[in-house]
Amino acid sequence: MINKIYKRIHNKYSTLFKFLFFLRHLVAIFFLSIVLFLSIPHFFDFKKKDEIIKKYLLENYDLKLNKYDDIKYNSFPLPNLDILNTSNTLNSTMIKLDVQNIRIYPKLMSIYNFKKFKTKKIILNKNELSLRENQLKHTRKFFFESKNRIKINNLELKIFKDNKLLININEINFMNYGYKKNIITGQIFKKKFKILLNENNKKLNFRLLNTGINIDLAFNEIKKKAFSNGIIKAKILNSKLRFYFEYNDEVIKIDNFYLRNKNLSFNHNGLIIYQPFFSINSKYNIEEINIPFLRNLNIKKILNSKDMLKKINSYNEVTYKSKKFSRNIINDLNLKFNLKYGRLTYSKKFIISDHLLSCNGDSNLLEENPILYFDCFIDSKNKKNLFKKFSINYKKKNEPIYLNFKGRINLLDKRINFTSISMNKNYEASKEDLNYFKDIFEDTLYNGSFLSIFDRNKIKSFIIKIS
């Protein structure tokens, strides 16, 4: 019975079984053919084809391959060529780019027919790129304008000015295709960052991860050689800022810079000149300020940054006008300060109601213990109203006061020396008086940080003691 069933099935499906057995051999032949197709190139000497590869990289990726150690063929996971330890230049700029491994994924038939050599993509692994600060814009064509697929793994970017390192960015990764298209990741100041670019590279979002820093940048116009202008909006910790910028090869112009947080808000316009010499011209208009917040500034840390102070050349003006019902004692402020090669010069004017306080002076911030020289005067038509600002009772009305005082103050060691003090042309402080005022000042006003001198309660206590 079983034999009859077997014969019946065999007779009915014999054609199918024959086809399946034939297909088994066909699959084996096909598999063997693929293995041979992928394995035979291992015996090729691809160095003999390097001129074709060089020409293709130059024409399609703007990458000039100058020298290399070896070219190896890999079958898996997809057929590719590894060009090892290469030295290259971005041809349109002749900027040097060292790549430990250029991995080329050629189209399948290109492996056997180099006359029609084409690639699917290239991957640059472990790269080093060193630039002068004015060369950065010239790399845009290679990294962001290529129409061919390219992936950058682990790029270290160093930017120099006058042979001194300005910034070092590590572990940069980027690709212009796939689900991670136009996403740049890396590390700066030992913090990881992420940049998102839009399709035409006119907008980007920069995030310094786990720091609260988020910056949006939009370019209004793109020229062939450089971006020219745009707008930046950012959130840095608890501060929000926005400004317009415009730049060329020599200057950066900043307009309508606006920053706001719970302690400070101001507008700013400025000009940063970086060719032929670096300098900054800035004008700040403070809208709101929390005076106690300024006392948290670490003056000592700033003064210890001698290398940074040497490099800054800046010309600055700060203005402030208090709101009508503000509790700040200062109604108007105009402060001008210039810093050049560590040398600070300043002039400032405070208006407290109708009372004027004016100072000017200078300091060499590069000294081990910087000394701030000052020449100041207070001009008031009504001494009673001036004292009232500090909640001090004074009986005489309409008594004018003109007080002039000169001296020097140590910014770190909490010491002050008065060289002269005079008032209303009828008083000139003696040497003993100057020492007395010095002691009261150091004990009452300068018993904390430098900025604590401007504490309202301390000023009140000082006035009471010397009155």
HSE-CB of 434 using CA atoms within 13 angstroms: 16
**Which span out of 73-87, 111-125, 207-221, 361-375 was modeled with the highest average pLDDT?**
361-375
> Model confidence at 433, in pLDDT bands (50, 70, 90)?
very high
The answer to whether the beta carbons of residues 320 and 289 sit under 8 Å apart is yes
Among 68-77, 122-131, 324-333, whose mean pLDDT is lowest?
A: 324-333
What integer pLDDT is reported at residue 103 of this predicted model? 94
What integer pLDDT is reported at residue 224 of this predicted model? 47
pTM for the predicted model, two decimal places: 0.69
Give residue-wise pLDDT tens across range 41-62.
777 788 888 898 899 999 898 8
Average pLDDT over residues 372-392: 87
What integer pLDDT is reported at residue 153 of this predicted model? 95
Q: How many CB atoms lie within 10 A of CB 395?
A: 6
Task: Give the whole-angstrom CA distance, residue 275 versus residue 279.
Answer: 9
Check whether 376 has a pLDDT greater than 50: yes
b/e code 231-247 from CB counts within 10 Å (16+ = b): ebebeeeebebebebeb
Q: How many CB atoms lie within 10 A of CB 120?
A: 16
Burial class (CB in 10 A: 0-12, 13-18, 19+), 124: buried
The answer to whether the beta carbons of residues 193 and 207 sit under 8 Å apart is yes
Cα 219 to the center of its chain, rounded Å: 17
> Model confidence at 459, in pLDDT bands (50, 70, 90)?
confident
Check whether 101 has a pLDDT greater than 90: yes
Structure-block tokens of residue 132: 């002068």
User: What SS3 state is found at 394?
Assistant: coil
What integer pLDDT is reported at residue 212 of this predicted model? 84
Per DSSP, 290 falls in state -
HSE-CB of 381 using CA atoms within 13 angstroms: 3
Check whether 235 has a pLDDT greater than 50: yes
Task: Give the whole-angstrom CA distance, residue 238 versus residue 212.
Answer: 8
Which stretches of 71-176 are DSSP H helices?
A: 140-144
Task: Give the whole-angstrom CA distance, residue 140 versus residue 228.
Answer: 14
Task: Give the whole-angstrom CA distance, residue 60 versus residue 141.
Answer: 12
In which element (H, E) is residue 334 found?
Answer: strand 332-340
Check whether 14 has a pLDDT greater than 90: no
Spell out the long-range contacts of 67-72 with Cβ–Cβ below 8 A and sequence spacing 24 or more.
Answer: 68/102, 71/46, 71/47, 72/46
> Model confidence at 381, in pLDDT bands (50, 70, 90)?
confident
Give residue-wise pLDDT tens across range 185-224.
999 988 999 999 887 777 889 998 888 889 998 887 655 4
φ and ψ at residue 50, rounded to 5 degrees: -65, -30
Burial class (CB in 10 A: 0-12, 13-18, 19+), 90: buried
> Model confidence at 428, in pLDDT bands (50, 70, 90)?
very high
Check whether 325 has a pLDDT greater than 60: no
Check whether 445 has a pLDDT greater than 90: no
What integer pLDDT is reported at residue 20 of this predicted model? 55
Mean pLDDT for all residues in the chain: 83
> Model confidence at 10, in pLDDT bands (50, 70, 90)?
low
Residues 6 or more apart whose CB falls under 8 angstroms from that of 285 comprise: 266, 267, 268, 319, 320
Check whether 97 has a pLDDT greater than 50: yes
Choice between 302 and 170, residue whose per-residue pLDDT is larger: 170
Spell out the long-range contacts of 257-266 with Cβ–Cβ below 8 A and sequence spacing 24 or more.
Answer: 261/237, 262/238, 262/290, 263/289, 263/290, 263/293, 264/288, 264/289, 264/290, 264/293, 265/289
